[in-house]
Amino acid sequence: MAKAKHSFDYDLIVIGSGAGGSAAATIAAREGKRVAIIEEDTFGGDSPNWSDIPTKALLHAARIYDEARHGNRFGLRTSTLGYNYPSIRNWKNLVVERTGAANNRRFYENHGISAYSGKAHFLTPHEITVNRRHLSAAHFLIATGSSWIAPKVQGLGEIEYFTPRTILETLRPPKSLFIIGGGQYGIEIAQLMATFGTKIYIAEQASRLLPHEDKEAGELIERILTEQKGATILTHTRVLSVEKEGLGKRILINRGGVEKHIKADEILVAAGRLPNVDLGLENASVKYTPKGIEVNEHLQTSVKHIYATGDVLGRDSHTHTALLESRIAAHNMFARVKAVPDYTATPNVIFISPEVAHVGLSEDDCRRRDLSVNKSIAPLNIVARSNTADFRDGFVKLIADKKGVILGGTIVAPNAADMIHEIGLAVKHGLTAQQLADTPHAFLSWSEAIRVAAQKLSA
């Protein structure tokens, strides 16, 4: 029996060192398993190297700069304020370095995990190749994530363009930037660059920005970007073609049946990602489509010893979701009783200013499910904090069923990312609007708006 167990090089090989893979690798190693981790790109994956951490570091600097610039209304002299973008990039690089999760191959090796750089390719259900080296394992976890893809736009393949990953390395903000995609990533980059003086155009096929968020959030952010940042928002818009023109780009769009040309220095493509499934999955008999790997509720693929987590599943995932799935997969591989990930009350946050946070069901979700609901909206300007902070753009929206049980909520506020968990707790544990309204909320906190929205629902 022991011989059969050790007929493989490893108990577990994890393909991908981002959030979907790292937790499982360290948990299995801690439990004495022989573990290897393989990374084709930079160790640590997307979040610490190319998305969450560096983007939020830059957005934090932008927010401070923006607040300081408008500080004269508080009696602050800010007319001589300026910035040095290379120094801001250095700050971003320091943050990435400090997290310890970026480029962290040594971290795995210190935990007794074999780390391999290269592209993994399945040869059989128990064997892969990495840089011509054959490795075998009793279990596999596929956590290869997803990559930005270019939409089908004529001429896009012939020009240079940014993605939300590559624009973080730009030496200075472009004079003008045309963004394809008005979702979370496009909006974060739009606000970042606009704060540092870039003229922004955003093209979105849907009828509003942030089409996956509640309508009121998309409409408010559109107004803020237009009025405060001078952005041009092009909803109901398809990009037909792009071409180089001098040092810039010429973009042909169709908006409501009318074609129009727009000129911009640079283009950012933030219109979608596709799972990284090019790793010989057919050789392992793993079922997948270009939209992702198929798994059951235990995160098992069609081959029972091969699991998959994170963006490679093709869902609209978050870093905290990938970490949850990674922990569950590690448990399920080696435990007799399998666990199921509980996605209830998983929050989504967009770190612009003001922040946009959402948890549970949106109004659109309820409509699609034919759920009969009540909703309430409390504008931020009805709580005292909006007066002391001189900030009035924002709201708390709550959705409850006919019995008053909270089903979901959206917050647009300066601290929405921190506030949303109160609503998340209500969603996860079936609390009513009345219970939320009866909970004392600190005076002069933004969270008073949650109490007000709950009070409206329970009235």
Q: Cα-flanking dihedrals φ and ψ of residue 269, to 5°?
A: -100, 110
**What pTM does this model have?**
0.94
In a domain, 98, yes or no: no
* pLDDT at residue 317, as a whole number: 79
Same domain, 250 and 195: yes
Domain count of the fold of the chain: 4
Structure tokens at 218: 């998309």
Same domain, 136 and 193: no
The DSSP bridge partners found for residue 242 are 251
Task: Assess whether the previous peptide bond of 354 is cis (omega < 30° from 0).
Answer: yes
pLDDT tens digits, 335-373? 999 999 999 999 999 999 999 999 999 999 999 999 999
**CATH number for the domain that contains residue 123:** 3.50.50.60
How many angstroms from the chain centroid is the CA of residue 305?
29
Same domain, 65 and 108: no
Tally of helices (H runs) and strands (E runs) in the chain = 14, 23
Same domain, 36 and 60: no
In a domain, 341, yes or no: no
* pLDDT at residue 6, as a whole number: 62
In a domain, 382, yes or no: yes
Pairing outcome for strands 199-203 and 273-275: unpaired
Structure tokens at 336: 């007799």
In a domain, 418, yes or no: yes
* pLDDT at residue 101, as a whole number: 75
- Residue 137: burial class (beta carbons within 10 Å; 0-12, 13-18, 19+): buried
Same domain, 419 and 445: yes
Domain boundary residue, one of 220, 250, 271: 271
* pLDDT at residue 79, as a whole number: 83
- Matching residue, tokens 């937790």: 23
* pLDDT at residue 232, as a whole number: 98
Same domain, 239 and 296: no
Structure tokens at 160: 């240079």
Same domain, 143 and 284: yes
Same domain, 137 and 280: yes
Same domain, 133 and 34: yes
Walk along the chain (459 residues) in steps of 10 and give the mean pLDDT of each run.
66 97 97 97 92 96 96 91 96 92 86 96 98 97 96 95 95 97 97 97 96 95 97 97 96 96 98 95 97 98 98 91 97 96 95 97 94 97 97 97 97 98 98 98 97 94
CB of 8 closer than 8 Å to CB of 127: no
* pLDDT at residue 78, as a whole number: 87
In a domain, 168, yes or no: yes
In a domain, 342, yes or no: no
Same domain, 233 and 359: no
* Domain coverage including residue 81: 52-92
Same domain, 36 and 140: yes
Which residues 6+ apart lie within 8 Å of 237 measured at CB? Answer: 203, 204, 205, 253, 254, 255
In a domain, 340, yes or no: no
CB of 310 closer than 8 Å to CB of 323: no
**CATH number for the domain that contains residue 382:** 3.30.390.30
Same domain, 26 and 85: no
In a domain, 13, yes or no: yes
* pLDDT at residue 5, as a whole number: 52
